[in-house]
């Protein structure tokens, strides 16, 4: 089955879309750099005040400081936000406003190359941001163990899942107003995915709902990695994200084809 679905996901030519974005954003380096700071500000702010107010939080039978608890969730959130801003907002602009993909499609590139290329770009940015975030975690003492380096691939997987979903969502957006709806989904994901407090605080049934959230799966996976606590369920979490990524990419490719080459 895999061999039948893989060619749908674009070709080696998709790297040209990555090149294109690199060229366009070269003149906007300040914007690129600013992406590093947002999660860092969150870490600093929590480190200054909330850390003392909240004290320690139990995770996997261990008590850890609040900053150590929150940092992996922030990493997951920043991977989600970076991926969705790139794919939903910027791709919407190119797809429906500036029509810059139309020109690309008159070249040997295919629709699926375009979709995949945007994902490469989102991943490249995410891996840079995630790496710098992990360095900050270590410097601020918010890393639970040396295994925190494994958060890097986990963050990239998270970005992969969210950029694929974002790309698919983007094709359903009709106008700028619909971005309000995107925010209405994104904010509760951010606030309630056990990013700020443990899932054990929820009533049992609500905890089951939260577990569906990809951001929760990502945050929980990274929390385990950061603390060096390995459980079988973490493989399930990673698999969940990977499946979301593939489904999202497949859906995005089909939708792009419908829109760009009717």
Partner 1 sequence: MTAEPILQASDLVKRFGESTAVDGVSFSINSGESFGFLGPNGAGKTSTMRMISAVSQPTAGSLSVFGLDPRTHGPAIRGRIGVVPQEDTLELELSVRLNLEMFGRYFDIPRAVLRERTADLLAFTQLSERANDRVEDLSGGMKRRLTIARALINQPEILILDEPTTGLDPQARHLLWDRLYRLKREGVTLIITTHYMDEAEQLCDRLVVMDHGSIVASGTPRELITHHSTREVVELRFNTDSHDGYHDRLAPFAQRLEILPDRVLLYVDEGDETLRLIHQEDIAPMSALVRRSSLEDVFLRLTGRTLVD
Partner 2 sequence: MSTPTDTRLGWSRWRRSWWYHATYYAQTWRGSVAGTVLFPIFYLAALGVGVGHLVSAHSGLVDGQTYLHFIAPSLLATTTMQLGEGESLWPVLAAVKWIRSYHAAAATPLEPLDILIGKLSWVVTRALATGVVYTIVIGAFGALQSWWSLVLPLIGGLVTLAFAAPFVAYAASVQSDASFIVIYRFAIVPMFLFSATFYPISAYPGYLQPVVQFVPLYHGVALARSAAYGQWPLLPTVGHLAVLLAMSVVGVLWGRRSLRRRLVD
Residues 6+ apart with CB under 8 A from 232: none
Which residue lies nearer to partner 1 by CB, 24 or 201? Answer: 24
Q: Which of 5, 6, 22, 41 binds partner 2 (CB under 8 A)?
A: 41
104 binds partner 1 (CB under 8 A): yes
102 binds partner 1 (CB under 8 A): yes
Least distance from partner 1 to the Cβ atom of residue 106, Å: 4
172 binds partner 2 (CB under 8 A): no
49 binds partner 2 (CB under 8 A): yes
Which residue lies nearer to partner 1 by CB, 24 or 243? Answer: 24
Q: Which of 1, 2, 23, 30 binds partner 2 (CB under 8 A)?
A: 30
Which residue lies nearer to partner 2 by CB, 28 or 261? Answer: 28
236 binds partner 2 (CB under 8 A): no
Of the ranges 149-157, 182-190, 227-235, 240-248, which one interacts with partner 2 (CB under 8 A)?
182-190
Residues near partner 1 (CB under 8 A) are: 13, 16, 19-20, 23-24, 27, 98-100, 102-110, 260-262
């Amino acid at each position: 089955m895999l061999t039948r679905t893989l060619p749908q996901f674009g070709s080696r030519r998709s790297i040209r879309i990555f090149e294109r974005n690199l060229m366009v954003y070269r003149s906007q380096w300040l914007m690129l750099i600013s992406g590093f700071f947002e999660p860092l500000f969150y870490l600093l702010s929590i480190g200054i005040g909330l850390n003392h107010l909240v004290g320690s939080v139990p995770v996997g039978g261990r008590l850890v400081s609040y900053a150590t608890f929150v940092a992996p969730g922030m990493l997951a959130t920043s991977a989600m936000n970076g991926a969705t801003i790139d794919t939903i907002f910027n791709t919407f602009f190119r797809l429906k406003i500036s029509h810059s993909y139309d020109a690309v499609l008159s070249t040997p590139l295919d629709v699926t190359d375009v979709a995949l290329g945007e994902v490469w770009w989102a991943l490249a940015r995410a891996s840079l941001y995630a790496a710098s975030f992990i360095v900050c975690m270590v410097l601020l003492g918010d890393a639970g163990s040396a295994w925190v380096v494994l958060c890097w691939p986990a963050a990239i997987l998270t970005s992969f899942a969210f950029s694929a979903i974002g790309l698919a969502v983007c094709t359903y957006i009709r106008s700028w107003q619909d971005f309000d709806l995107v925010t209405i989904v994104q904010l509760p994901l951010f606030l309630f995915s056990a990013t700020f407090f443990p899932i054990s605080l929820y009533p049992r049934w609500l905890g089951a709902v939260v577990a569906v959230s990809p951001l929760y799966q990502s945050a929980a996976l990274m929390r385990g990695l950061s603390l060096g606590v390995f459980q079988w369920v973490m493989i399930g979490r990673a698999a969940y994200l990977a499946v979301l990524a593939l489904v999202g990419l497949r859906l995005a490719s089909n939708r792009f084809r419908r829109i760009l080459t009717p």
